[in-house]
A = this chain, B = another copy of it.
Amino acid sequence: MRPLALDPNRLLPADPTTRGIARELYDTIADLPIVSPHGHTDPEWFATDAPWNNATELFLAPDHYVFRMLYSQGIDLDALRVPKRGGVVPDTDPRSAWRLFAGNYRLFRGTPSRMWLDHVFAEVFGFDRLLDAGSADHYYDTINEALTTPGYRPRALFERFKIDFLATTEGADDPLDQHAAIRRSGWGGRVVTTYRPDSVIDPEHEEFGTALAKFAELTGEDVGSWQGYLRAHQKRRADFRAAGATATDHGFATARTANLSTIDAEALFGRVMSGKWDAADAELFRAQMLTEMAKMSVEDGMTMQIHPGATRNHNAKLFASHGRDKGADMPTRTEYIESLRPMLDLVGNEPNLTVILFTLDESTYARELAPLAGHYPCLRLGPSWWFHDSPEGMRRFREMTTETAGFYNTVGFNDDTRAFFSIPARHDVARRVDCGFLARLVAEGRMQDWEAHELAYELTNGLVRKAYKLDQTLPQAAAA
């Protein structure tokens, strides 16, 4: 039997002087509330406050970080009870899926998944022995038992986790019923939505047609005309703001933007709507729409997030059998300097616009992103993302962006997760890594101690509140 004991100094640098400074910094911010301005939790959890089912459905089947690693070592997704295309759940016994996971827990050594899971197991469920084949059943039964108790329901955990703000992400075709239910319920948790209109913007999105129909229905606009289509976006952005949204989010394969004349934009839109478009049209339309979204943000004040560079569904066979979000998305080389130029030419110098850039291509941190954010008033750098949301990834982000962009052009941490239980673990990792980085600057005489203290707060709570305008009142109707 192997113990599970979280090292209270985990992730702080080993050098005693640096660790001492880091520890002191960390102690001042460890218990600050969590601000989670971008993620993928399900608003229904907070609307209904229904309990979760069991350990397998909670931690294994929905977490692509977890099952992709198991899959990479030849473990079948059915045996892990990962749903197939259309949500069809294999008839694997959830307990045996859990045992398979537990018996292969060693595969996660050195990965952030391991740190997040251990944190959840120790801090949220109180386990003191490590997950392995021998403890699998103990874990499974203990977790399932806990999930039936009131303290493990969504709202109770939201409060236990000291979450101050939590943004979910919904499509432009979403009626926002769950968010309405949350607000109607009178529960005080600040759970808001984020406007993510990819499925009504990207002609290559598999749900483009249906999403567009719903978009028309929800807005009452003629989305077949360019002006009607833009008005529909404005209306839905207002709907989202009414549901608490302060931000939009956009995730395409590239960061390309465009700034077409109205005539060219209408012609392009016509091709897209008539179905007579090719791949270049689709790319150009996404590019044009990023600029349109930026223009709307100038009007309505919504912070704009751009998450480019993921090649989705790389594994064709797995996509056919299991559909999206099954751990087969791959990062790709991403270009920003020329790609963003058309949008920046138009709105780059707007002082009240905030555009947060993310990347899956770390080679752009020092070469493109920090120089851009260190100049353009509208730009800020999102934290290290997805594959790079990890201790080494966070360290590289700070090392490669700070000297050119400074700290004040960054926006704190995003957990970007649908794994609700792991939110405190993820924020804790970021806080520790950032304190370690600040401590190194202090230990190397590059920053004064009191400055590091100010920054530890900024990186945890200050900058995120400002970048996502959490303390501002945005216009509650469409500007146009």
Q: Report yes or no: B110 in contact with A441, Cβ–Cβ below 8 A.
A: yes
CB distance from A76 to the nearest CB of B (A): 9
Given that A318-B349, A374-B69, A402-B110 are contacting pairs, would A444 and B12 also be in contact in the complex, using a CB cutoff of 8 Å? Answer: yes
Contact indicator per residue, chain A 360-376, by CB within 8 Å of chain B (1) or not (0): 11110011101111111
Q: Report yes or no: A341 in contact with B370, Cβ–Cβ below 8 A.
A: no
Instruction: Check A109 for interface membership: any CB of B closer than 8 A.
Output: yes
Contacts of A311 in B (CB 8 A): 337-338
Taking CB atoms and an 8 Å cut-off, the chain A residues in 103-124 that contact chain B are: 106-112, 115
Contacts of A8 in B (CB 8 A): 445
Q: Report yes or no: A111 in contact with B404, Cβ–Cβ below 8 A.
A: yes
Number of chain copies forming the complex: 3
Q: Report yes or no: B18 in contact with A14, Cβ–Cβ below 8 A.
A: yes
Contact indicator per residue, chain A 318-353, by CB within 8 Å of chain B (1) or not (0): 100000000111111101011001001100110100
Among A315, A316, A370, A404, residue most surrounded by chain B Cβ atoms (within 10 Å): A404
Among B71, B332, B377, point to the contact of A71 (Cβ < 8 A).
Answer: B377
20 sample A-B contacts, Cβ–Cβ < 8 Å, listed by A number: A9-B445, A10-B444, A10-B445, A10-B446, A12-B444, A14-B18, A16-B17, A69-B374, A72-B374, A72-B377, A108-B406, A110-B406, A332-B368, A333-B335, A362-B367, A366-B387, A387-B403, A391-B403, A392-B399, A393-B403
5 further contact pairs, Cβ within 8 A, besides A7-B445, A327-B375: A71-B375, A107-B408, A109-B408, A110-B402, A392-B403
**Residues in chain A within 8 A of chain B (CB atoms):** 2, 6-18, 68-69, 71-74, 106-112, 115, 130, 311, 314-318, 327-333, 335, 337-338, 341, 344-345, 348-349, 351, 360-363, 366-368, 370-377, 379, 387-388, 390-393, 399-400, 402-409, 440-441, 443-448, 450-451, 454-455
